[in-house]
């Protein structure tokens, strides 16, 4: 029969608990470092995505502010994990591309993925005449990953509202000076809107011609 005093039992308990605590601390230390690194990388990617979304949101804000309004959007060129290589305007298709280099991107490779928006309708990579107000957005953000590079795209399309006197609306991106930058800023200026009506409206796939309001958004990179 074993005879242990209460003091001996307490000492053994303290030793066991101390060993467990040291073990847990070791696990947290060993596994904590890569977890923190992952968080830092994730935060940097969040910053890149936020910068791209800011470009889209500023275009929409300047559009809503009316003729003569303007904005400057600084491009943050580099972080520890990611580097903005190129920002370019495609005025023909009303989009801005932001090319970012980095080691890890959590996107499917080789195909365009929506970051903000409901569907790919009426974009440069798809078909369709317009999207419906309240069901989708006129300005969307997409991304496509290739080896070591992600191309983010801010694109604007026709949006239809049956309650408006002019049912269709679109932001028309127009060149103003340089259309490419690597580390400068994107400059926007709302130079006013015009309504294309009657035979000058947009003829959709059904053969119908719909009145459309175009807002001219001047874009310059410097």
Per residue in 135-155, pLDDT (tens digit) is 999 999 999 999 899 999 999
Name which residue leads in pLDDT, 26 or 212.
212
Residue 89 exposed, middle or buried by CB count within 10 Å (0-12, 13-18, 19+)? buried
Name which residue leads in pLDDT, 108 or 35.
108
Mean per-residue pLDDT, 202-221: 97
Task: Supply the pLDDT for residue 163.
Answer: 86
End-to-end CA separation in angstroms for the chain: 88
Task: Give CA–CA dist 20/195, Å, rounded.
Answer: 74
Rg over alpha carbons for the chain, rounded to the nearest Å, is 27
The overall average pLDDT reported for the chain is: 85
Return phi, psi of residue 194, to 5°. -140, 150
Task: Give CA–CA dist 58/61, Å, rounded.
Answer: 5
Paired tokens of 198: 């009657």
Mean per-residue pLDDT, 179-188: 92
Task: Give CA–CA dist 10/165, Å, rounded.
Answer: 84
């Amino acid at each position: 029969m074993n005879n242990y005093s209460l003091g001996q039992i307490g000492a053994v308990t303290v030793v066991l608990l101390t060993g467990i605590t040291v073990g847990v601390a070791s696990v947290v230390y060993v596994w904590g470092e890569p977890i923190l690194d992952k968080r830092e990388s994730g935060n940097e990617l969040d910053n890149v995505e936020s910068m791209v979304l800011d470009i889209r949101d500023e275009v929409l804000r300047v559009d809503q502010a009316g003729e003569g309004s303007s904005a400057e959007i600084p491009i943050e060129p580099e972080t520890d994990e990611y580097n903005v290589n190129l920002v370019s305007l495609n005025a023909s298709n009303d989009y801005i591309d932001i090319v970012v280099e980095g080691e890890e991107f959590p996107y499917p490779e080789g195909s365009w993925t929506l970051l903000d928006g409901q569907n790919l309708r009426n974009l440069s990579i798809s078909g369709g005449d317009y999207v419906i107000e309240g069901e989708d957005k006129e300005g969307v953000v997409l991304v496509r990953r290739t080896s070591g590079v992600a191309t983010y795209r801010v694109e604007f399309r026709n949006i239809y509202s049956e309650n408006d006197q002019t049912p269709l609306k679109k932001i028309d991106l127009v060149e103003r000076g340089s259309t490419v930058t690597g580390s400068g800023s994107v400059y926007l200026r709302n130079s006013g809107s015009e309504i294309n009506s009657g035979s000058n409206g947009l003829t959709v796939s059904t053969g119908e011609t719909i009145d459309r309001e175009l807002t001219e958004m001047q874009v310059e990179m410097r």
